[in-house]
């Protein structure tokens, strides 16, 4: 089998750019992607900076028929931090392992997709292909810290309205099996900080109403809720995207000293941070009432604040679900394109975490989460994140097929009409 060494090496180069939070090297990432794009005939490039220091690269591959809506191939450029000492290879080395694994932070989430988009365009363009529909490639910052300054700003812009996007492809997840996973919706993120206050006191004294005691009561209640949700997942009754996940992100309390904490003083304040993800069909207002009444009751001297509170419904007030059956032509086209590339899609799912696709679904646009990584363990945000070379290369072929199939679709349909009046 002939390996496209150029494609592998470009992927490695991109992975070697450290775009991890809290200080992602966006300038280098954009410069690199731009230079790759500049070698692809027919593609125009521009950098948009909705927020200073957070550049978004927009590539345009103009279609023959400007009356047709455009296809948006979307990816984010930032990655989550990694702890080098806990990796077998340095997370920004993109070292190749014995079985052809490319080890790097971002190899699955989601620098692979960014480069596969570009490589697919490179191959199609070199073969003389010109799309009928315009194809946009967006490489956006900020996804891992909320997306407001990246996809959020783009989706809210006049520029985006002018782009007349008709369908969006964003990230999915790796799949350990043969079939590619695909996502038509996602859980809504609710990041919650609960704060307890209480009387301070001597560490030897037993009394009611300390901040710690108030907080730990909540922690117990939250843990019971978490366990009940987790049980439905463990029993197989529900899928990961169908239960509410609640995880403890941090606990903060105590009176610090240079060597640790004061041990014989009960603190007057204590906090817990929670990462909560809510399926689109769950009554989120009921959950918010539960927070106010049971998890952070003011009667127990507690307050709470949502640090991330994404929208639950789209601009028409409808739940943010993209139709994933034959009534949505984009779904049919996606199935067809993947099949043509000798791949198979598994049953469409609700994405268990969150992606920037929500900013586009919020506008009422159809958006699918799809990362062509079969036979691959799910390692996003984990140690030793990797993608094998052959899976990466197969993914390029899948995107070639998608670009051809999507852009050759000539009909305007309901989505396009509703898009036009935005
Ligand atoms: Zn991602
Ligand atoms: Zn991520």
Distances (CA, A) of 83 to 80, 104, 105, 110, 121: 10, 11, 10, 18, 34
- What does the CA dihedral 328, 173, 399, 366 come to, rounded to 10 degrees? 30
Q: What is the mean pLDDT of residues 395-406?
A: 98
Q: What is the pLDDT of residue 417?
A: 45
The reply to whether 76 sits in an annotated binding site is yes
For residue 140, the tally of other CB atoms under 10 A from its CB is: 28
Q: What share of the chain is helix, strand, coil (3-state, %, to 5)?
A: 35, 25, 40
Determine the Cα–Cα distance for residues 239 and 302; give it in Å rounded to an integer: 33
78 assigned to active site: yes
Q: Kindly state the tokens that stand for 132.
A: 């009928």
The side-by-side arrangement of strands in the sheet containing 269-278 is: 245-253, 269-278, 188-197, 302-309
Is the pLDDT score of 102 beyond 70? yes
According to DSSP H, which parts of 203-273 are helical?
A: 211-234
pLDDT at 419 over 50: no
Q: Please tell me the predicted confidence (pLDDT) of residue 138.
A: 99
Distance 26 CA to ligand 1 centre (A): 15
CA–centroid distance, residue 355 to ligand 1 (Å): 6
Q: Does residue 144 have a known ligand-binding role?
A: yes
Average pLDDT rounded to a whole number, residues 176-198:
97
Out of 101, 143, 149, 170, pick the active-site residue.
Answer: 143
- DSSP 8-state symbol, 157: S
pLDDT score for 240: 95
Share of the chain above pLDDT 90, in %: 94
* Cβ–Cβ under 8 Å, residues 204 and 109: no
In this predicted structure, what is the pLDDT of residue 411? 81
Q: pLDDT digits over 30-49, tens only?
A: 999 999 999 999 999 999 99
> Looking at this predicted complex, what is its ipTM?
0.97
Distance 266 CA to ligand 1 centre (A): 41
Residue 4 has pLDDT above 70, yes or no: yes
**pTM of this prediction?**
0.92
- How much is the average pLDDT of 293-310? 95
Question: Is pLDDT of 186 > 60?
Answer: yes
pLDDT at residue 93 is higher than 60 = yes
Crossing angle, helix 389-407 and helix 329-340, to 10 degrees? Answer: 130
Residue 414 pLDDT > 70: no
Question: Does residue 60 surpass a pLDDT of 70?
Answer: yes
Which ligand is nearest to the Cα of residue 369, counting in written order?
A: 1
């Amino acid at each position: 089998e002939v390996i496209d060494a150029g494609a592998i090496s470009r992927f490695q180069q991109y992975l070697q750019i450290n775009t991890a939070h809290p200080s992602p090297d966006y300038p280098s990432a954009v410069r690199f992607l731009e230079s790759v794009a500049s070698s692809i005939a027919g593609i125009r490039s521009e950098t948009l900076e909705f927020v200073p220091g957070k550049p978004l690269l927009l590539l345009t591959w103009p279609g023959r028929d400007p009356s047709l809506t455009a296809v948006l191939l979307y990816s984010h450029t930032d990655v989550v931090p990694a702890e080098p000492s806990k990796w077998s290879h340095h997370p920004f080395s993109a070292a190749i392992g014995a079985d052809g694994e490319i080890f790097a932070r971002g190899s699955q989430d989601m620098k692979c997709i960014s480069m596969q988009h570009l490589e697919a365009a490179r191959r199609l363009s070199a073969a003389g292909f010109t799309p009928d529909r315009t194809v946009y490639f967006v490489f956006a910052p900020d996804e891992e810290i909320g997306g407001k300054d990246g996809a959020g700003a783009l989706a809210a812009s006049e520029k985006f309205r002018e782009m007349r996007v008709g369908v969006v492809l964003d990230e999915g997840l790796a799949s350990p099996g043969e079939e590619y996973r695909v996502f038509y919706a996602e859980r809504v993120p609710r990041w919650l900080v609960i704060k307890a206050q209480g009387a301070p006191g001597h560490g030897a004294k037993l009394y009611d109403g300390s901040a710690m005691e108030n907080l730990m009561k909540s922690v117990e209640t939250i843990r019971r809720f978490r366990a009940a949700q987790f049980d439905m997942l463990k029993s197989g009754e529900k899928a990961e995207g169908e239960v509410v996940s609640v995880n403890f992100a941090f606990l903060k309390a105590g009176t610090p000293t240079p060597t640790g904490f004061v041990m014989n003083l009960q603190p007057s304040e204590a906090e817990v941070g929670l990462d909560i993800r809510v399926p689109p069909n769950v009554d989120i207002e009921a959950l918010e009432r539960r927070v106010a009444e049971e998890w952070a009751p003011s009667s127990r001297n507690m307050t709470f604040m949502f640090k991330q509170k994404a929208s639950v419904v789209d601009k028409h007030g409808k739940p943010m679900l993209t139709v994933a059956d034959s009534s949505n032509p984009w779904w049919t086209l996606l199935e067809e394109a993947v099949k043509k590339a000798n791949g198979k899609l598994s049953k469409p799912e609700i994405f268990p975490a969150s992606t920037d696709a929500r900013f586009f679904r919020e506008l009422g646009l159809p958006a699918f989460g799809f990362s062509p990584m079969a036979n691959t363990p799910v390692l996003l945000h984990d140690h030793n994140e990797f993608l094998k070379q052959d899976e990466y290369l197969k993914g390029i072929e899948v995107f070639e097929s998608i670009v051809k199939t999507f852009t050759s679709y000539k009909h305007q349909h309901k989505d396009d009409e509703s898009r036009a009046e935005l």
